[in-house]
Amino acid sequence: MLIGESVKEKKTAALFVVTFIFSGYASHNTRWDKTETHKASQWLARLYMF
């Protein structure tokens, strides 16, 4: 895989996660919000470790 492609994928994934979290906040479902935000942040942290 090319390095440029990897960076592009990470940026796209990060955008998706941010959008996902904000859609969660917009739903006003606090239980879903906390769980999914935590999962998304862990996933994003793992993504940037590689």
| CA separation for the pair 49, 27 (Å, rounded) | 30
pLDDT of residue 2: 61
Please count the other Cβ atoms lying within 10 Å of the Cβ belonging to residue 6: 11
pLDDT of residue 42: 83
pLDDT of residue 26: 62
pTM of the complete model: 0.38
| Cα separations in angstroms, 40 against 1, 2, 8 | 25, 25, 19
Amino acid letter, residue 28: H
How many structural domains is the chain composed of? 1
pLDDT of residue 31: 60
Question: Which segments of the chain have a pLDDT < 50?
Answer: none
pLDDT of residue 12: 82
Which domain range does residue 9 map to? Answer: 3-49
pLDDT of residue 4: 66
